[in-house]
Amino acid sequence: MDNRYYIFILSDSLGETASHVARAAMNQFLNKDYVVKKYNYVRDADAVEEIVIEASKHKSMVLFTTVMEDLTNTIVTMCATHNVICHDILSPVLGQFSSFFGDTPVRKPGTMYKLDDDYFERVAAIEFAVKYDDGKDLRGLKYADIVLLGISRTSKTPLSMYLSHKNVKVANVPLVPEIQVAKEIFQVPKNKLIGLTNSPEKLNEIRIERLRALGLSSDVEYANFDRILHELDYAEKVYKQLGCPVINVANKAIEETASIILEITGLNIKLK
């Protein structure tokens, strides 16, 4: 006999709201054995009936977030008919907001996840940051809004990903003393180039932690203090040759550094 509890989650959209609420509640009952069954984009009575009948075969509760009033009434009616416990998560909140605003909700599914131009630009920027991370393909530099340069552990990738979520296309290229600076970097307009640096002490600390996380000995050249000083000196010479601005990321949060980058490049004006 199946003694597990079943949580059926229904939504006329993605169902993320109901899922989060359900998880938050279920986490308060650690000793219960339950199964979660999630149904997205449920928008007709036939689909509701099929799900409710399935729920009636188990010890079930139906949680739902539906903005279409007819569909909400259908779920409540069918659950009552089949003796299944149900809970409408969204309607009570909509009712409160309706009273508060003195207005009626639009009752349109999926408005939280509207796919507008801004959304697609952000997705494109994120894909760009992944594709042109760590100097993977230098052909992308000419298409970037910003090109970040720096030796290892100067926050190139975290900054690229953070800025990509602001719809900025960022490529980043590592600087290594033993590898000649690629000609493509010299073709990037100076107003798009940003050099990143860090304090030798901070780099030494970060690199040692990185090696430990990988299960490697910290007694290697990568974390050697003299090696770090050599790399920093090399990067400084490259930045002077390129004539690009330099930001020291030591003791700066990613958000702070990103803000400085946007200010220097003038992209903060564009984003506003």
Question: Could you give the number of structural domains in the chain?
Answer: 2
Asked if residue 44 has pLDDT above 80, the reply is yes
Asked if residue 77 has pLDDT above 60, the reply is yes
Q: What is the pLDDT of residues 180-203, one digit of tens each?
A: 999 999 999 999 999 999 999 999
For the chain, percent of residues with pLDDT exceeding 90: 69
Quote the pLDDT of residue 186.
96
Regarding whether 246 and 181 lie in a shared domain, the answer is yes
Regarding whether 172 and 73 lie in a shared domain, the answer is no
Q: Is the dihedral of CA 87, 90, 93, 99 positive or negative?
A: negative
Is 43 annotated in a binding site? The answer is: no
Is 152 annotated in a binding site? The answer is: yes
Is 215 annotated in a binding site? The answer is: no
Domain CATH number, residue 144 = 3.40.50
Quote the pLDDT of residue 105.
79
Is 264 annotated in a binding site? The answer is: no
Regarding whether 174 and 241 lie in a shared domain, the answer is yes
Is 151 annotated in a binding site? The answer is: yes
Regarding whether 129 and 104 lie in a shared domain, the answer is no
Q: Is the dihedral of CA 50, 54, 56, 61 positive or negative?
A: negative
Give the Cα separation of 136 and 130 in Å (integer).
9
Regarding whether 188 and 91 lie in a shared domain, the answer is no
Q: What is the pLDDT of residues 132-157, one digit of tens each?
A: 999 999 999 999 999 999 999 999 99
Boundary residue ending a domain (50, 80, 113): 113
Quote the pLDDT of residue 112.
54
Is 153 annotated in a binding site? The answer is: yes
* Lookup: tokens for 228: 């770090």
Regarding whether 194 and 93 lie in a shared domain, the answer is no
Q: What is the pLDDT of residues 78-122, one digit of tens each?
A: 999 999 999 999 888 888 888 998 988 777 765 555 556 677 788
Q: What is the mean pLDDT of the chain?
A: 91
Boundary residue ending a domain (86, 113, 140): 113
Quote the pLDDT of residue 218.
84
Regarding whether 122 and 29 lie in a shared domain, the answer is no
Regarding whether 128 and 105 lie in a shared domain, the answer is no
| Domain carrying residue 18 | 5-113
pTM given for the model: 0.61
Is 150 annotated in a binding site? The answer is: yes
Q: How many residues does the chain have?
A: 272
Boundary residue ending a domain (113, 129, 152): 113
Q: Other CB atoms closer than 10 Å to residue 167's CB: what's the count?
A: 20
Asked if residue 166 has pLDDT above 70, the reply is yes
Q: Is-contact 69 39, C-beta < 8 A? A: no
| For the chain, the helix, strand and coil percentages under 3-state DSSP, each to the nearest 5 | 50, 15, 30
Regarding whether 127 and 20 lie in a shared domain, the answer is no
- The mean pLDDT value for 53-79 works out to 93
Regarding whether 171 and 62 lie in a shared domain, the answer is no
Asked if residue 49 has pLDDT above 80, the reply is yes
Regarding whether 99 and 74 lie in a shared domain, the answer is yes
Regarding whether 74 and 132 lie in a shared domain, the answer is no
Is 77 annotated in a binding site? The answer is: no
